[in-house]
């Protein structure tokens, strides 16, 4: 399917052609399933090739909706995040709102244990376009069904990971109020409302730092690309530390 997508890339993309757009979408779905088969972690270059192909880009956006992916992880982004987390010597890292559980799974394979928590499939169903809400949601086996508040209280992490908080729903006051938490990392969409604007305000006693080594390789469900221009990434990674970093 990659060979056919590459051949299509050389042709002008006519979004008014239903046959052409549907074929590009089918090929993009097949390519993305292939790249992620058996929980494989694709490289940034592999995803960039799809996002900068106008025939494949609409299929990428649909695939993210259908599979409930928000941040689409790459090998390079996970390796950079694992390096940051190891350097901080955290005692217990908990991911809240973990969704499918991709991030915690890949970090564990990179040597960084993470406890993944989420409310589960029912909560995930709402975060998709209406035509995909009845699609089954794959939640990986190590995701513990737990509200983020319970996770903080019961698991007592010193580091919290959180990808794409619900729109205009800011969980960060709870993170900062938890006595054991000395850092939290947000993965968020620059143009969107993940967490709301209040999640990114300055807070006394906390220092913010963009994890540039992570976000340069991190792709989100709303990112887009153009031939010869690369990927326009709206997905960010920001660490907040108690005191000074």
pLDDT (0 to 100) of residue 183 = 98
| Class of residue 79 by CB neighbours under 10 A (exposed 0-12, middle 13-18, buried 19+) | middle
Q: What is each CA distance from 194 to 117, 187, 191, 198, 203, in whole angstroms?
A: 18, 9, 9, 10, 18
- Indicate if the pLDDT at residue 86 is higher than 80: yes
- The residue out of 18, 52, 67 marking a domain boundary is 67
Q: Report the CATH number that the domain containing residue 169 is assigned in CATH.
A: 3.40.50
One domain for residues 139 and 207: yes
One domain for residues 150 and 219: yes
One domain for residues 79 and 142: yes
**Per mean pLDDT, which range of 13-17, 111-115, 143-147 is the poorest?**
13-17
* Cα distance between residue 168 and residue 200, in whole Å: 12
One domain for residues 14 and 79: no
* Cα distance between residue 151 and residue 153, in whole Å: 6
Domains held by the chain: number: 2
What domain range is 12 assigned to?
A: 2-67
One domain for residues 59 and 107: no
- The residue out of 48, 67, 86 marking a domain boundary is 67
One domain for residues 174 and 228: yes
125 vs 162 pLDDT, higher one: 162
Q: What is the pLDDT of residues 50-72, one digit of tens each?
A: 999 988 999 999 999 989 898 99
Q: What is each CA distance from 191 to 8, 24, 203, in whole angstroms?
A: 30, 26, 21
Are 216 and 45 within 8 A, CB to CB? Answer: no
One domain for residues 168 and 105: yes
Per the prediction, the chain carries an average pLDDT of 89
- Indicate if the pLDDT at residue 16 is higher than 60: no
* Cα distance between residue 115 and residue 79, in whole Å: 18
The DSSP call for residue 127 is S
One domain for residues 130 and 236: yes
The DSSP call for residue 198 is G
* Cα distance between residue 162 and residue 97, in whole Å: 6
One domain for residues 106 and 223: yes
Alpha-carbon Rg for the chain in angstroms: 18
Predicted TM-score (pTM) of this structure: 0.90
Q: What percent of the chain has pLDDT over 70?
A: 90
Phi, psi of 106 (to 5 degrees): -70, -35
- Indicate if the pLDDT at residue 113 is higher than 90: yes
One domain for residues 10 and 131: no
- The residue out of 16, 51, 67 marking a domain boundary is 67
One domain for residues 53 and 81: no
One domain for residues 215 and 131: yes
* Cα distance between residue 115 and residue 211, in whole Å: 21
Tell me the DSSP string of 90-107.
Answer: -S-EEEES-TT-HHHHHH
- Indicate if the pLDDT at residue 122 is higher than 80: no
CA angle, corner 96, sides to 241 and 142, nearest 5? Answer: 130
């Amino acid at each position: 399917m990659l060979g056919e997508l590459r051949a299509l890339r050389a042709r002008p993309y006519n979004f008014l052609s239903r046959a052409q757009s549907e074929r590009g979408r089918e090929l993009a779905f097949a390519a993305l399933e292939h790249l992620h088969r058996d929980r494989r972690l694709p490289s940034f270059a592999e995803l960039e090739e799809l996002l900068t192909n106008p025939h494949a880009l609409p299929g990428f956006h649909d695939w993210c909706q259908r599979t409930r992916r928000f941040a689409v992880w790459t090998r390079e982004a996970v390796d950079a995040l694992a390096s940051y987390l190891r350097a901080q010597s955290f005692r217990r890292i908990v991911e809240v709102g973990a969704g499918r559980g991709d991030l915690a799974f890949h970090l564990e394979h990179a040597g960084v244990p993470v406890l993944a928590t989420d409310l589960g499939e029912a909560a995930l169903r709402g975060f998709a376009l209406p035509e995909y809400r009845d699609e089954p949601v794959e939640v990986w086996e190590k995701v513990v069904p737990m509200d983020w508040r319970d996770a903080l209280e019961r698991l007592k992490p010193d580091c919290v990971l959180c990808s794409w908080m619900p729109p205009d729903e800011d969980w960060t006051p709870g993170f900062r109020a938890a006595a054991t938490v000395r850092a939290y990392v947000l993965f968020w969409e620059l143009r969107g409302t993940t967490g709301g604007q209040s999640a990114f305000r300055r807070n006394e006693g906390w220092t913010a730092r963009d994890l540039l080594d992570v976000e340069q390789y991190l792709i989100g469900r709303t990112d887009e690309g153009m031939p010869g221009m690369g990927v326009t990434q709206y997905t960010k990674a920001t660490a907040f530390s108690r005191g000074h970093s």
